Amino acid sequence: AHTVTEYDTIAAISTPIGEGAISIVRLSGEQSLTIANRIFKGKDLAQVASHTIQYGHIVDPETDEVIDEVMVSVMLAPKTFTREDVIEINCHGGLLATNRILQLLLANGARAAEPGEYTKRAFLNGRIDLTQAESVMDLIRAKTDKAMHVALNQLDGNLAHLIQNLRQEILQVLAQVEVNIDYPEYDEDELTTKMLLEKADIVDQAISELLKTAQQGKVLREGLATAIIGRPNVGKSSLLNYLLHEDKAIVTDVAGTTRDVIEEYVNINGVPLKLIDTAGIHHTEDKVEKIGVDRSRQALEAAELVLLVLNQSEALTPEDQELLTLTKAKKRIILLNKTDLPTALTKTMLQPYLHEGEQPLEISILTQLGTKALERRINALFFAGIETNQNTVMVTNARQIGLLRQAQQALNDVRQGIAAGMPVDLVQIDMTSCWDKLGEITGDSAPDELITQLFSQFCLGK
Ligand code: GDP
Ligand code: ZN
């Protein structure tokens, strides 16, 4: 580990590393102008107006070698992302030139930024709260338009406002309780506890509403782990290919792993599905695959959604029956595939294997009959009762969900304490703990280690 001086001037490449047409090297901190001036030939950056773009060249001050032709954005504090002076060098000389520019900045007084350090500074300088910082991370990773909207919305601070309002409510009641305790002549225990109970209910209700969005929020953020299962030849690969086709596929390398570990995502009307074990489903012509029950069992364990494929042109086999039983407790969609062929397996025959109200979906992947209905079904499963427009406030990550649950637990303690006739000042402690937990969500009462750990999950340059 190395020590980091908070507020020294940091530099990093803030666009994805690769052969993109333009990359941006960003500086933030008090020395941004001075350091940039040392390697920039063009106007004196210290003299130009803030929030302007300057044309010029990056030149190595040691050798006078011209490295790249650039556009430099000058943005002075406090109206910047970090609230510090920010310089962005837009270069277009490819990876090599971009790296050289970064090296020059480091040689001329800047320090290499840590992952997430720009966002961390924005937080430490009071420009954003923790939920907004997290939404920056979500934006970087957003897999569908909807996920992007939710993240943007959070970046706007809507979740933070909601949480801050709840904290305000709690603070009011705590202040009132304090008054009642301090002035025993007004002390009416019954009134005080009634007030606490009412407030606990209001806050509890609001937290429950938020938690309802948590499942959807997690799906939007991480993708819904989906397994396609079925015995050989029912049409799994065909379904996979259908899903992967038509701009739906979002193929991502898993960070920090070797190239052969690839996660495949598809975007189904705004629901990102993370397809599990697709390697087992992809075909090779010369190899007869054996994706039997064993393989399915493994995929099933990790699955949040199961697409169980059956061939309706053949009678149920013992293997089909076993898979139907295995998946019964899972969120699943049963697909009766090959409806373009004569029917041997009807919905009625399936009845004993279904749970109440379950509707298998008739489909022909070959003729694409029913495939749109499948997409609608997937969508309906996850957005039932929840509007996901741009204004939806959603809880999108495990940290926020965990803290909301703890806040709710504290409210339960308030209620139980009152029911058990505990003294008001003890009940007050639980109410305060709820207030603290909510504050951790926005970072108003978050410990330092948490903040360090949180920002270290960002990618470099953000
Ligand atoms: P898997 O073994 O479960 O992956 O099944 P495949 O996707 O490889 O499909 C097995 C065979 O069924 C292939 O010849 C497909 O073309 C065919 N098939 C898949 N879906 C349909 C369908 O809806 N109708 C018909 N008639 N054939 C299909
Ligand atoms: Zn197959």
Query: Residue 361 carries which side chain, given as an amino acid letter?
Result: L
Mean predicted lDDT score pLDDT of the chain: 82
Domain end among 336, 351, 383: 383
Same domain, 151 and 205: yes
Domain end among 383, 410, 441: 383
Same domain, 231 and 375: yes
Same domain, 186 and 288: no
The alpha carbon torsion through 241, 243, 244, 250 (nearest 10 deg) reads -160
**Owner of token pair 């305060």:** 432
Cite the beta strand spans of 191-270 per DSSP E.
224-229, 249-253, 262-268
Q: What are phi and psi of 7, to 5 degrees?
A: 60, 10
Domain end among 383, 417, 443: 383
Q: What are phi and psi of 250, to 5 degrees?
A: -125, 100
Same domain, 245 and 313: yes
pLDDT for the residue numbered 261: 37
Gap between the terminal Cα atoms of the chain = 20
pLDDT for the residue numbered 362: 96
pLDDT for the residue numbered 289: 44
Going from the Cα of 260 to the center of ligand 1, the distance in angstroms, rounded, reads 26
Going from the Cα of 376 to the center of ligand 1, the distance in angstroms, rounded, reads 22
392 is in an annotated binding site: no
Q: Is residue 122 part of a domain?
A: no
Which CATH number does the domain housing residue 444 bear? Answer: 1.20.120.430
pLDDT for the residue numbered 309: 94
Same domain, 411 and 367: no
Same domain, 108 and 148: no
Quickly state the pLDDT bin for 22 (edges 50, 70, 90).
Answer: confident
pLDDT for the residue numbered 188: 64
- β-pair partners for 72: 54, 89
Evaluated on CA atoms 114, 120, 122, 125, the torsion sign reads negative
pLDDT for the residue numbered 85: 95
Least confident of 12-16, 157-161, 445-449: 445-449
Least confident of 138-147, 222-231, 376-385: 138-147
pLDDT for the residue numbered 151: 75
Percent of residues, the chain, with pLDDT higher than 70: 81
Within 10 Å of residue 107's Cβ, how many Cβ atoms? 14
Cβ–Cβ under 8 Å, residues 217 and 397: yes
Rounded to two decimals, the pTM is 0.59
Same domain, 270 and 342: yes
Same domain, 350 and 415: no
Same domain, 34 and 104: yes
For the stretch 232-290, pLDDT in tens is: 889 888 888 888 775 444 444 343 333 333 457 787 877 788 888 665 555 444 343 44
Choice between 184 and 175, residue whose per-residue pLDDT is larger = 175
Same domain, 256 and 355: yes
Same domain, 283 and 349: yes
Choice between 86 and 210, residue whose per-residue pLDDT is larger = 86
Q: Whose CA is nearest to atom 10 of ligand 1?
A: 233
5 is in an annotated binding site: no
Give the CA count within 13 Å in the CB-facing half-sphere of 392: 25
pLDDT for the residue numbered 271: 78
Total number of domains in the chain: 3
Query: What average pLDDT score do residues 215-220 get?
Result: 73
pLDDT for the residue numbered 2: 35
Give the CA count within 13 Å in the CB-facing half-sphere of 130: 25
pLDDT for the residue numbered 445: 75
Distance CA 170, CA 429 (A): 12
Going from the Cα of 231 to the center of ligand 2, the distance in angstroms, rounded, reads 9
Q: What is the DSSP string of 124-189?
A: HTTSS-HHHHHHHHHHHH--SHHHHHHHHHHHTTHHHHHHHHHHHHHHHHHHHHHHHHH-GGG--H
Q: Is residue 120 part of a domain?
A: no
Q: Is residue 272 part of a domain?
A: yes
Going from the Cα of 284 to the center of ligand 2, the distance in angstroms, rounded, reads 9
Choice between 311 and 139, residue whose per-residue pLDDT is larger = 311
Q: Whose CA is nearest to atom 25 of ligand 1?
A: 338
pLDDT for the residue numbered 336: 97
Q: Is residue 124 part of a domain?
A: no
Residue 390 pLDDT > 60, yes or no? no
Q: Is residue 128 part of a domain?
A: no
Q: Is residue 4 part of a domain?
A: no
Quickly state the pLDDT bin for 291 (edges 50, 70, 90).
Answer: very low
Q: Whose CA is nearest to atom 9 of ligand 1?
A: 235
Q: Is residue 334 part of a domain?
A: yes
235 is in an annotated binding site: yes
pLDDT for the residue numbered 3: 38
Q: Element (H or E) spanning 20, and its range? A: none
pLDDT for the residue numbered 10: 93
Question: Residue 248 contacts by C-beta under 8 Å, 6 or more apart in sequence?
Answer: 266, 267, 268
Same domain, 335 and 432: no
Which CATH number does the domain housing residue 63 bear? Answer: 3.30.1360.120
Query: Residue 123 carries which side chain, given as an amino acid letter?
Result: F
461 is in an annotated binding site: no
Residue 150 pLDDT > 70, yes or no? yes
Tell me the residue range of the domain where 321 lies: 218-383
